Amino acid sequence: MKIALITDAWAPQVNGVVRTLSEVSRELTRRGHELLVISPESYRSVACPTYPEIRLAFAGRRGVGARIEGFGAEAVHIATEGPLGLAARRHCIARRRSFTTAYHTQFPDYLARRTGLPASLFWPFIRWFHRPSAGIMVATETVRRQLRAQGLTQLRPWSRGVDLSCFGPDIAPPDLFFDLPRPIQLYVGRVAVEKNIDAFLGNRHPGSKVVVGDGPELARLEAEYPDAHFLGRQTGRDLAACYAGADVFVFPSRTDTFGLVIIEALACGTPVAAYPVQGPLDILDAKSGAMAERLEDAIAAALRLRRTDCLAHGRGFSWQASADQFFAALAPEACARPSAGMRHAIGLA
């Protein structure tokens, strides 16, 4: 199948959305499908305010549409709600071409954290953007319930995976870890305000705190938490070594839809401590993680879990299974006719 994937999040950005799209694209290509990725790298762009790593492309409906049609796309998937996603959406509606979308990010909560405005102000845009979609791909049941409450019901499951050839328990930890007081508490991810890293670094559980990642909050956190250890961005086996060498992985975010780093940690046998919110609630069970409103309590409970149980749970996620769900969610039979939302958007409802 020829699949057009339109995304405002792509390399060299480092985040869960990019990793998910990259891994699934690689797996689908391996299976013989043809993919056209329309991303900011092909356009003039500007840095997103407060999030400079994200580039906002100068792209119009005609230009994006010409690439979709010139490719001969049999399915169109719009991954993000940014300028490229909007341009592709406009093209598909104008051509009465069905498309699928995905809800990767808690966009209203993300904007609320960065603007100080209530999240409710941003939900009308989310409803408007996704309503014409033939199918909205979501990672967890919690997100499905949330979107159903917003009147978006054309939902299709699309979970996430782990590269089990890279992430595993039998990897030597970084040299730094041998000199740190135990337990080693690890955070991996974007160093940004919406990730709630202050809650992790400010928790009072004894031991050492390690942050892996980069982002706009890095300089401030390094200054405010001089006893923590900031390792910057790590990838591949170096990242896996951090997971495998830690005693507990701490996931302080309250706004993620999934938390790809959670299953990467589990695939290395490392238990997870988190708040009882969407993402952790959907992924963790009683043997692989602990959740509490006080991170100290979650960390203490997670440290009592068996690493073999964590490993078994983490190895249940694969990119092969994720690609299966993505391809099934494209639903060629649904793409052959406009959805109810599409009919409304083009004035046929």
Q: How far apart are CA 26 and CA 259, in angstroms?
A: 20
Contacts of 297 (CB under 8 A, 6+ apart): 290
Query: Which pLDDT value is given to residue 335?
Result: 47
Q: Are 268 and 243 in contact (CB under 8 A)?
A: yes
Nearest of 173, 198, 214 to residue 12 by alpha carbon: 214
Q: How far apart are CA 191 and CA 300, in angstroms?
A: 24
Average pLDDT over residues 94-121: 86
Decide if pLDDT at 74 tops 90. Answer: yes
Q: How far apart are CA 237 and CA 168, in angstroms?
A: 9
> All domains of the chain, ordered by start, with CATH?
2-161+320-345 (3.40.50.2000), 175-317 (3.40.50.2000)
Count Cβ atoms below 10 Å from residue 206 Cβ, excluding itself. 10
Decide if pLDDT at 214 tops 80. Answer: yes
pLDDT digits (tens, 9 = 90+) for 13-34: 888 899 999 999 999 999 999 9
Decide if pLDDT at 39 tops 80. Answer: yes
| 154 residue type, one letter | Q
**Mean pLDDT, all residues of the chain:** 92
| 316 residue type, one letter | G
Query: Which pLDDT value is given to residue 333?
Result: 45
Nearest of 261, 309, 268 to residue 285 by alpha carbon: 309
Query: Which pLDDT value is given to residue 107?
Result: 75
Query: Which pLDDT value is given to residue 114?
Result: 75
Query: Which pLDDT value is given to residue 242?
Result: 98
Average pLDDT over residues 180-209: 97
DSSP sequence for 16-62? HHHHHHHHHHHHHHHTT-EEEEE-GGGS-EEEETTEEEEEEE---HH
pLDDT digits (tens, 9 = 90+) for 267-311: 999 999 999 999 999 999 999 999 999 999 999 999 999 999 999
Query: Which pLDDT value is given to residue 349?
Result: 42
Q: pLDDT grade, residue 104 (50/70/90)? A: confident
Average pLDDT over residues 66-83: 96
Query: Which pLDDT value is given to residue 56?
Result: 80
Q: How far apart are CA 261 and CA 63, in angstroms?
A: 35
Average pLDDT over residues 158-181: 96
Query: Which pLDDT value is given to residue 106?
Result: 80
C-alpha torsion angle, residues 167, 171, 176, 180 (rounded to 10)? 90
Contacts of 33 (CB under 8 A, 6+ apart): 1, 2, 3, 327
Q: How far apart are CA 108 and CA 303, in angstroms?
A: 33
Q: Give the DSSP H or E segment for 78.
A: strand 75-78
